[in-house]
Amino acid sequence: MEIISDPHDMQGRARQWRGQGLKVVLVPTMGFFHQGHVSLMEYGKTIGERLVVSLFVNPAQFGPQEDLGRYPRDLDRDARLARDAGVDCLYTPEPGGMYPPGYQTFVEVESLADGLCGASRPGHFRGVATVVLKLLNQVSPQVAVFGEKDYQQLMVVKQMVADLNVPTEIVGRPIVREPDGLAMSSRNTYLSPEERAAALCLYRALLAVRELVATGAKSREHILAAVRQLISATPGSRIDYVSLVDPATLQEVEAIQGEARLLLAVWINNTRLIDNTLLSESRLCCV
Ligand code: PAF
């Protein structure tokens, strides 16, 4: 596996691959790999001829009070895991290479990025859209693969790519969970054993809602009340947002008609976790 850190070298290698007619797939990450990342890599391997994984903890998507400084990092372990997953190239740019002195261009996606995580983390999606566009320009992949855990991020990136005519297909892949249901996240490493147990309230809330919907519940009021009740009964937890949205526009819906997405952001003491699930209208009965 090749490791490239210089954006110009990355562009050069991508140009070479394009010249050879190879299909390039990119999995963008911030590292500290877990099975969720590995599943994206394994999928990427099945659909392309050259698999690039970018590893860059992007300062532009962290707010001043957020966890940029303590975000977990372990390059040696990540390189081992990427090699084992069959990655051809681990791309590890430095902040100074991505945002050199004098850097002044940012990408802003409008309404899709406004609410939900965008409301709680001002500037976050501006940083994400900017770095993802830069990575797509540096790697020129035919396909880029993202996890659905960051569902709003996936939708923001799809919109940006469509709006700016970027010739890359954006593919979302299912959330990977721990055996007990907790969505895998590099931030799970922040949790103490007690907090780790409390963090299960997110998955429990999603399961409870899936059951409600299976028995015919549709209304936003009913669904959100059930989630709020379950989460607020968990010590140490504080809801950032719970939303029932149209899966394409991320606009709030009053009831599930066809499909809706339930999105959750919850603080477990000082750690903010997100999760989501797709809900399909039950044909059984109506509540
Ligand atoms: O999801 C992430 O890890 C990051 O937001 C991404 C897409 C790699 C951009 O920095």
> Is the pLDDT assigned to residue 153 strictly greater than 60?
yes
Strand partners, 278: 261
Q: Is 198 in the pocket of ligand 1 (CB under 6 A)?
A: no
What would the mean pLDDT of 265-271 be, rounded to a whole number?
A: 98
Mean residue pLDDT across the chain: 97
What would the mean pLDDT of 206-233 be, rounded to a whole number?
A: 97
Q: Under CATH, which architecture does the 186-279 domain have?
A: 2-Layer Sandwich (3.30)
- Tokens 């519940």 map to which residue? 217
pLDDT of residue 286: 41
> Is the pLDDT assigned to residue 62 strictly greater than 50?
yes
Q: Is 150 in the pocket of ligand 1 (CB under 6 A)?
A: yes
Residue whose CA lies nearest to ligand 1 atom number 9 = 128
What would the mean pLDDT of 203-222 be, rounded to a whole number?
A: 97
Distance CA 245, CA 247 (A): 6
| Residue 259 and residue 278 in contact, taking contact as beta carbons nearer than 8 Å | yes
Residue whose CA lies nearest to ligand 1 atom number 6 = 29
Distance CA 33, CA 77 (A): 8
Question: Which residues does the annotation mark as catalytic?
Answer: 37
What would the mean pLDDT of 174-184 be, rounded to a whole number?
A: 98
282 pLDDT band, cuts 50/70/90, is confident
Fold of 2-173: Rossmann fold (3.40.50)
User: Is there a shared CATH topology between the 2-173 domain and the 186-279 domain?
Assistant: no
Q: Is 275 in the pocket of ligand 1 (CB under 6 A)?
A: no
What is the Å distance from ligand 1's center to 56 Cα? Answer: 8
How much of the chain exceeds pLDDT 70, in percent? 98
> Is the pLDDT assigned to residue 273 strictly greater than 70?
yes
Q: Is 186 in the pocket of ligand 1 (CB under 6 A)?
A: no
> Is the pLDDT assigned to residue 287 strictly greater than 90?
no
Domain regions of the chain by residue span: 2-173, 186-279
> For the sheet containing 50-55, what is the strand order?
2-4, 89-91, 50-55, 24-29, 143-147, 169-173
| Residue 168 and residue 254 in contact, taking contact as beta carbons nearer than 8 Å | no
Nearest atom in ligand 1 to 186's CA? 3
Question: What is the pTM (predicted TM-score) of this model?
Answer: 0.97
Nearest atom in ligand 1 to 61's CA? 10
